[in-house]
A and B are shown apart, each in its own frame.
Chain A
Amino acid sequence: MPTLRLDAALVHMNRADAAGNGQYLGPDPYFDDLFCLAAERAYVSCERIVAALDGPPQTLLLNRGMVHGVTETPNGAHFTSCVPDYGRDEAFQARYAAAAADPEAWQKFRAEYLDGDEAAYQKAVST
């Protein structure tokens, strides 16, 4: 089977520095480093951009050579998890699943959470 070439990878880390080095602090690195290496362009969002990364060296999953852009987006993995910063928002996931099963409910869900920008989304899900 031929390998997949990704146009772009969008991954989310707990911490990163401005150069694009990325760090995970949860129990599972998943495949984020592989996604970045397989992509033409890789963009990292993170809970917090720090001046200097610290912690065990094996938590430094991404190096700047595999990353083309970095941005700080607190709660950016919502409604999935970014352990230990936060877990899954299961109540919200249940609302999403219910809305997705009903076109009318979906329009309402979309208007409430998705039609705005990132800041509007974060504001909507925090209330």
Chain B
Amino acid sequence: MVACAEAWRGDGAILASPMGLIPSLGARLARLTFAPDLLLTDGEAYLVDADGGIEGWLPYAKVFTMLAAGRRHVMMGAAQIDRHGNQNISAIGDWKRPKAQLLGVRGAPGNTVNHPVSYWIPRHSPRIFTDHVDMICGVGYDRGAHELRVVVTNLAVLDFGTPERVMRLRSVHPGVELADVVAATGFPLAVPDQVPVTRPPTDGELGLIRTRLDPDGARERELA
């Protein structure tokens, strides 16, 4: 969650749009700590503070104006993602007769060409980190992505900080072996000589998570 929160560090007063529980908790944690200017929404028509108090109006249509202006940073999920950052949330298998029909492309194409995008993947595996994406929804750096900031998983943080803009290991989470991350990635991962360890939460952040943001521990179920 702290690694998700870190995705928004330095973003200033832009709209954070986290998809799903852990990214949402991360965005609220960032807002409460090192990114106090972040704009958060209630997922309906209001801008809210980290505790849900209303501070502004942002109806659906205005989200698109923020998007087009580039003043938004989304953290989405991915059923598949390749080394360039092409992402699939729509269909697995042959497009004409998919094995699984998922969400549809949703906002992924527009998001990825207009403003920063990050990804949260709770189960790092070779089926998700794949050589080939069955249907491109979010575009990768080889197809004109605006900025792919980070890919946060249950094992590691990845980014695209290579000259070719392909996926690189930025840090491994505490207690995770480098070899396990490489084995769970279905394409060759750029690995620097020294791989840092993802920073653990501070005592202050742990306190906020346990008492204010997620006192019922819903986060544990997403990672179970």
Contact = CB atoms under 8 A, between A and B. Distances in A.
B179 interface: no
A26 B46 CA distance: 12
Interface stretch (A28-36, A63-71, A105-113): A28-36
A103 interface: no
Interface string B57-81: 1011100000000000000000000
A84 interface: no
Contacts of B32: none
A2 interface: no
A56 interface: no
A interface residue count range (under 10 / 10 to 19 / 20 to 34 / 35 or more): under 10
Q: How would you classify the secondary structure of chain A's contact residues: helix, strand, loop or mixed?
A: loop
A31 B44 contact: no
Interface residues of B, number: 7
B57, B59, B60 pick with most chain A CB within 10 angstroms: B59
B45 interface: yes
B45 A31 contact: no
A57 interface: no
A31 B46 contact: no
Contact of A30 (B46, B57, B60): B60
Interface of A: 26-31, 34
18 contacts: A26-B45, A27-B44, A27-B45, A27-B46, A27-B57, A27-B59, A28-B44, A28-B45, A28-B59, A28-B60, A29-B59, A29-B61, A30-B59, A30-B60, A30-B61, A31-B60, A31-B61, A34-B61
Interface of B: 44-46, 57, 59-61
